Amino acid sequence: MGDGMRILLVDDEPALRELLRVTFESAEVTVDEAGSAAEAEGRIRAARPDVVVLDVLMPVVSGVELCRRLKAQPDTRDLPIVLLTGSDLDETADADALVRKPFSPLELLAVVERLATASSPSPLGVPRAIADDEEELLLYARDLRHLLGVERRQRALLERSYLETVTALATALEWKDTGTHDHSQRVVRYALELLAAVEPGYAQRERGIEYGFRLHDVGKIGIPDEILLKPGSLTPAERMQMEQHTLLGEEILGGVALLQGAGLDIVRSHHERWDGTGYPDGMRGPETPLGARVFAVADALDAMTSDRPYRRALPWSEARAEIAAESGRQFDPVVVEAFHDTEPLLYAAFCETVAA
């Protein structure tokens, strides 16, 4: 059953190494990995494998060149090598076997089995007699499932890295704009509480919505400081330029898969108004996405109760009255009603950040 058998997988793509590893995992084989020719040579010196499975296309030193090196050295010339390639090779660089991509899992298992030992039948526990269509289909399904999991993890890491970078930029912008990062903390809490009251479970279904709340003003990165930090009223031309931040934000975040849909809607539409006089699209009533309608109330609440370069913060009671007065004009009446229902929670969040 392959006890003690050891295979070295050499490829610069981690995803392919995982796919190859899972191909062998049911065969009770010890699998080692290397991401480059230099690493592979070190692994071989440390513990000689029974078979090397080697990808042809690798940077710096190709698989073909590494195969030649190993076959030219007295202590490794008899080491069995399988070359994996997606193209037509005129030569196999003295490799013991060549497997073309896309390859059958059972084909690769059979090749390694043959090279590892010619005297012990079926050392990998995969007799050729049972390599029927059903078994091969099961192996394909297992490998595909594993590869999809690898791709999801890699995509999540990439998205998280991108979002962490953009969040850091947004935080730096907020420090410049307001002198604090408390605004984003409060406004996200306000928005999530309001959204839960309006439509329970919505934030759980739309994974990117919290990021949309947090990164709503990232487009202000593209607004000149003389406009962004101006203590007085903006001129019509300056206001027009300031209003571009919603479109800039959408462009900056447009490539992040996690934000597609509800998250990106917030970035673009959080300055729309219920009466249709907002920007950038002049949406009216429920035309504006729910997340953006909720965020409009949360953002206005925090703006009114926070110090700004052009005015001091309003008391909470005045902010409450202003939100009520704008129901049906600036704000969705349903969201305003949710504000009244959740006001104790929102005020507690406000007091926590102010005290901190």
List, for residues 85-138, the tens digit of each pLDDT value. 876 665 556 888 888 877 766 677 778 878 876 534 433 444 444 445 555 555
Q: How far is CA 85 from the centre of its chain?
A: 30
Domain with CATH 1.10.3210.10 in the chain: 178-355
User: Residue 32: which of 21, 42, 22, 23 has the closest Cα?
Assistant: 21
Band the pLDDT of 165: cuts 50, 70, 90: confident
| CA-to-CA separations, 183 to 162, 190, 307, 326, in angstroms, rounded | 22, 10, 10, 22
Supply angle C-alpha 279, 282, 283, rounded to 5.
Answer: 115
pLDDT value at residue 351: 87
Burial 262-274 (b: 16+ CB within 10 A, else e): bbbbbbbbbbbbb
CB atoms within 10 A of CB 303: 16
**42-70 pLDDT per residue, tens:** 999 999 999 999 988 888 898 889 999 99
Tokens of 251: 């462009």
Tokens, residue 164:
């962490």
CB–CB of 318/356 below 8 Å?
no
pLDDT of residue 124: 40
Per-residue pLDDT, 89: 61
| Mean pLDDT within 274-303 | 96
Q: What is the pTM of this model?
A: 0.58
Buried b (16+ CB within 10 A) or exposed e, 118-152: eeeebbbebeeeebeeeeeeebeeebeebeeebee
- Residue 304 CB coordination number (10 Å): 18
Rounded-to-integer distance, Cα 14 and Cα 9, Å: 10
Residue showing tokens 């090749």: 111
Please report where in the chains the tokens 């609440």 appear, as a residue: 301
pLDDT number for residue 313: 87
> In what order do the strands lie in the sheet containing 97-100?
30-34, 6-10, 51-55, 81-85, 97-100
> Pick the residue with more confidence: 164 or 299?
299
CATH class of segment(s) 6-131: alpha beta
Q: What's the pLDDT at 292?
A: 97
Q: Class assignment of domain 178-355?
A: mainly alpha
pLDDT at position 127: 41
pLDDT tens figures, 238-279 = 999 999 999 999 998 888 777 889 999 999 999 999 999 999
- Average pLDDT, stretch 305-321? 86
Residue with structure tokens 């490539």?
Answer: 255
Q: Please calculate the CA angle 102-80-105 and round it to the nearest 5 degrees.
A: 25
* Range(s) within the chain of domains with CATH label 3.40.50.2300: 6-131
Q: What is the mean pLDDT of the chain?
A: 82
**Phi/psi of residue 314, nearest 5 degrees:** -85, 155
Q: Is the dihedral of CA 115, 119, 123, 129 positive or negative?
A: positive
**Per-residue tokens: 111:** 């090749």
